[in-house]
A and B are shown apart, each in its own frame.
Chain A
Amino acid sequence: MAYKPQYYPGNTSVAKNRRKHMSNDVEKMRDISDEDLTAILGHRAPGSDYPSTHPPLAEIGEPECSVREVVTPTPGAAAGDRIRYSQFSDSMYNAPSVPYWRSYHAAINFRGVDPGTLSGRQVNEMRERDMEEYTKRQAETEMTDWGLAGLRGCTVHGHSLRLQEDGVMFDMLDRRRLEGGVMVMDKDQVGVPIDRKVNLGKPMSESEAAKRTTFYRVDNVAFRSDKEVVEHVQKVWELRTKYGFVPQA
């Protein structure tokens, strides 16, 4: 039987969702075209070529190196793309992804990633075309509910705030909003207006968000209700502490 890694312990819905995110076994929920995605990322004009920071690797000729022979460059690295970023904010009111799980998802399932994890947001730097592929995966699947999360390059405030009356996470720069029952984004991730209204689909209902979330909350699935997870976390902390006292180990 082929080995199938189990990424996270626990039997609650939150633990199961966390495993799903880590293994990239996530449900696709909406379509966002490449052009729309490029527009909301705001790094280059939709339809334009990828600017490069160095010539393609095939042209510059790499030195002899056994590691380079083993590791195939990502499409972005092979083409010499610039390093660009995308950043998501997630509401603590049952957003589908915890910033840590966006990082796990990126680091486990994509190559050439540089994830930065903060309490309420997660930024990821990659070669431009690789970053677009990664962002598209997160934006189109159940990892993102555009009502409870947002693509925010700056002014990310919203994660720990109460939701708005319409159930949407507050956005100071009004990049995306609820219009006619669907989330619409007419600015890029840093708040500069774009020439289109990108339809990001329907936001999840409260009950659906509670079902798909990876946040432990006492008013939904409490962290302490998952004994296996608590045990695992305690074991990790115990080993880390012991290791700290035995540096030669």
Chain B
Amino acid sequence: MAKTASATGKQIQIKIFPQRLLQPRTAEKLLNEIDQVKGVVRMLIGGKNLPRKVTCGPGTGADVNHPNMEIIHVGDCAFELHVMVGEIIVELDNESGKEELRNACERTLPFSFEFKQGHFIKKKATLTDYGKYGFKSKTDESINLEDERILGLIDPHAKPENNLCVINPEGEK
């Protein structure tokens, strides 16, 4: 059985770590700039959690209404930020897009940032993923996923619809 998509290959991963925590507008601008870079396969946004309600102490249950919990638009996708963006991990098809990505960050970020290459998102299924998705069939022991690129993007117990955004699914990246 042929695989439809996979995260394995010669992709490289870059972690962008700005000096400051980003406001939603800056994060939106940066993500759109990164989206324009040729060869971006996937992006993972990380940062400080913005809860909907107070979860501990005498104020438990009170609404937080954090002003940074905004809806932002990236490519043709809109989603609500649940974090104050502190880091972005980008996976590129190959080394050639690296400088373009660095330039995109320099254009957008008004302060310095770290730009590290490494292995930050998993590239192949682990036991937890097999536990969640299972095998394709009795004869095919590959993971039962049409698009393996979602591996490592969300927690095993999280719902994809609230945490995953597919940008330009038809377009060639």
Binding site for B on A (CB under 8 A): 42, 153-155, 157, 161-166, 170, 172-174, 177, 188, 190-193
CB of B64 within 8 A of CB of A153, answer no
CB of B54 within 8 A of CB of A173, answer yes
B86 within 8 A of A: yes
CB proximity to A under 8 Å, residues B1-22: 18-22
Which residues in B have their C-beta under 8 angstroms from that of A42?
58
CB proximity to A under 8 Å, residues B35-68: 48-51, 54-59, 62, 64-68
B23 within 8 A of A: yes
Give complex CA distance A74, B32 in Å.
Answer: 60
With A164-B84, A174-B64 known to touch, is A190 a contact of B58 (CB < 8 Å)?
yes
B26 within 8 A of A: yes
Give complex CA distance A163, B57 in Å.
Answer: 24
Chain B: interface size category: 20 to 34
CB of B57 within 8 A of CB of A161, answer no
With A172-B48, A172-B49, A173-B54 known to touch, is A165 a contact of B59 (CB < 8 Å)?
no
Give complex CA distance A163, B58 in Å.
Answer: 27
CB proximity to A under 8 Å, residues B80-108: 84, 86
CB of B23 within 8 A of CB of A166, answer yes
State the Cβ distance, B159 to closest chain A Cβ, in Å: 22
State the Cβ distance, A152 to closest chain B Cβ, in Å: 10
Give complex CA distance A188, B21 in Å.
Answer: 24
Give complex CA distance A234, B64 in Å.
Answer: 46
Q: Is the interface of B mostly helix, strand, loop or mixed?
A: loop
Give complex CA distance A170, B23 in Å.
Answer: 11
Give complex CA distance A191, B53 in Å.
Answer: 9
CB of A163 within 8 A of CB of B21, answer yes
CB of A165 within 8 A of CB of B20, answer yes
CB of B57 within 8 A of CB of A170, answer no
Give complex CA distance A172, B56 in Å.
Answer: 12
Give complex CA distance A166, B26 in Å.
Answer: 12
CB of B23 within 8 A of CB of A165, answer yes
Nearest B residue to A169 by beta-carbon distance?
A: B21
CB of A174 within 8 A of CB of B49, answer no
Which residues in B have their C-beta under 8 angstroms from that of A153?
57-58
CB of B20 within 8 A of CB of A172, answer no
Contacts A162-B21, A165-B21 aside, 16 further interface pairs with beta carbons under 8 A come to A155-B54, A155-B57, A161-B86, A163-B20, A163-B21, A164-B20, A170-B84, A172-B51, A172-B66, A173-B59, A188-B59, A191-B62, A192-B54, A192-B58, A192-B59, A193-B62
3 interchain residue pairs of minimum CB distance: A154-B57, A190-B59, A192-B59
Which residues in A have their C-beta under 8 angstroms from that of B84?
164, 170
Give complex CA distance A163, B64 in Å.
Answer: 20
Residue pairs across A and B with Cβ atoms less than 8 A apart, 27 shown, are A154-B54, A155-B56, A155-B57, A161-B21, A161-B86, A162-B18, A162-B19, A162-B20, A162-B86, A164-B23, A164-B84, A165-B22, A165-B110, A166-B23, A170-B21, A172-B48, A172-B50, A172-B51, A172-B64, A173-B59, A190-B59, A191-B54, A191-B57, A191-B64, A192-B54, A192-B58, A192-B59
State the Cβ distance, B111 to closest chain A Cβ, in Å: 8
State the Cβ distance, A172 to closest chain B Cβ, in Å: 6
